[in-house]
Structure 1
Amino acid sequence: MKKIQWKPLLVSLLISLGTGAVSAFLASDSMEKYSSLYKPPLAPPGWVFPVVWNILFILMGVAAYIIYESDAPGKAQALKLYGVQLLVNALWSVIFFRFDAYLLAFAWLLLLWYLVCLTIKQFKDINETAARLLIPYLVWLTFAGYLNLAIAVHYIF
């Protein structure tokens, strides 16, 4: 087992957690907004979201670090795709909470889900553990998609 390279690990964690922080800042009233929205069955209380997202961003950061530290030829492409999905992730909150564009946010979430699937595949080609660290993220996005679509349908009809 390779020795942990702390600086790249911390940078990777800062990038992933920083994405979450920027997203939260751009949609700063999201928790207040969430409390006033229609809640479909299984919708968690608002405090669950920052807890889950912080855990997921840590897992993402560790996964990206594992890929960064690998010697695989496809690592640059995999990390670029990872960066793109982070950007798409950060913008979802803006679309949903700032613009109240629930249906567009759902379409955006489908794009994010697809990008995460591609990222998992590319990570898997390099390191199985890194890919597995992204599975909880994909599961959460699937659940978020259910919530997003239910809210969109409620307000459309």
Structure 2
Amino acid sequence: MVVVASGTEYLDNLPSRASKEGPPMQWGALGTWILATALQFATIVAFMYGMEKAFLRFNLSKQASIFLVRAFFAFMSLRSRVFSILDNSRPTVAMEDRKRRLRKRPSWMPPAKAFPVIWISIGVLRTIASSLVYETTNTLLSPALLAFVLHLSVGDTWNTITNVEDRQGASVPGVFLVWLSVVNAVRMYAQTLPLAGKVLAPSAVWITIANVLVISIWRLNGAEPLYPFKKRRE
């Protein structure tokens, strides 16, 4: 026997439209991230252009130029965020410990104290690889180094999304873009000088792990929408 529900009963049993659609997207936040990334990239490139002009203006020796370039990339590998217009504060060990208490984490996640060591090691390798590229091309504006600057810019914006604004959902596509940018940088470094590509490769390996970690945290904590939205105040 088939029972046909009345129109009212049928409508009452349908999922609400709002629950299907999710919260509205914050287009302003997305635009801000894109603009900030583009501005950071352009500012760093302009600074590098100015460095090259200064090298020529003061007729610096090859050794002096290499020394300054190494110092520049050492700084950029760890502090590129100074060129960003966004709040790019890095999480402290205390902040990370607090998040672990409030939010589920996969059991295999490295301890909070390991992250500074990992990033410093990555920074050293970035500096060496970038210096090798510069010594090979004799210019700061080679396509490979520009790809690396783009990677830094995308990474700093992702840090804001993840660690400052605490957007777990938007962090997932964001970290994927960081991964794409570092893979592209490794590829271009390798094309310029195979050794430089190998030295930069561990950075891509670590960000691959970061992708898995970000996705795992996102899934364990409710899998919020993968786009920016305004969160309700608790």
Normalised-by-shorter TM-score class: 0.7 to 0.9
Structure 1 residue ranges without an equivalent (≥5):
none
The alignment status of 1:15 with 2:79, answered yes or no, reads no
Residue of structure 1 in register with 2:3 after alignment: none
Q: How far apart in 2 are the matches of 1:54 and 1:28?
A: 13
Query: In the alignment, does 2:167 pair up with 1:101?
Result: yes
Instruction: Decide whether the 8 Å contact of 1:105 with 1:148 is kept in 2.
Output: yes
Quick one: distance in 2 between partners of 1:27 and 1:148? 18
Residues 54-94 of structure 1 show CA distances to partners (whole Å, capped at 9, x for unaligned) of: 11011111111111111389x61111111010111122221
Correspondence list, 1:19-34, <5 A: 19=80, 26-34=88-96
Is the 2:154–2:178 contact (alpha carbons within 8 Å) kept by the matching residues of 1?
Answer: yes
Residue 79 of structure 1 corresponds to: 145
Higher helix share: 1
Q: Which of 101, 107, 124 does residue 58 from structure 1 map onto?
A: 124
Task: Give the SS at the match of 2:137.
Answer: coil
Give the Cα–Cα distance (whole angstroms) in 2 for the partners of residues 28 and 18 of structure 1: 10
TM-score normalized with structure 2 length: 0.59
Amino acid paired to 2:74: L
Unaligned runs of 5+ in 2: 1-61, 224-234
Identical positions, percent: 22
* Larger radius of gyration between Structure 1 and Structure 2: 2
Question: 1: distance between equivalents of 2:129 and 2:200?
Answer: 7
Which residue of 2 is the match for residue 68 of structure 1?
134
Q: Decide whether the 8 Å contact of 1:63 with 1:131 is kept in 2.
A: yes
Q: Confirm or deny: 8 A CA contact 1:20 1:57 kept in the other structure.
A: no
Structure-1 separation of matches of 2:125 and 2:220: 33
Aligned-residue RMSD, C-alpha: 2.7
**TM-score normalised according to structure 1 size:** 0.85
Flag the 1:56–1:29 CA change in 2: closer, same or farther, 3 A. closer
Partner in structure 1 of residue 41 of structure 2: none
1:6 to partner: Cα distance: 2.1
Letter in 2 for 1:108: G
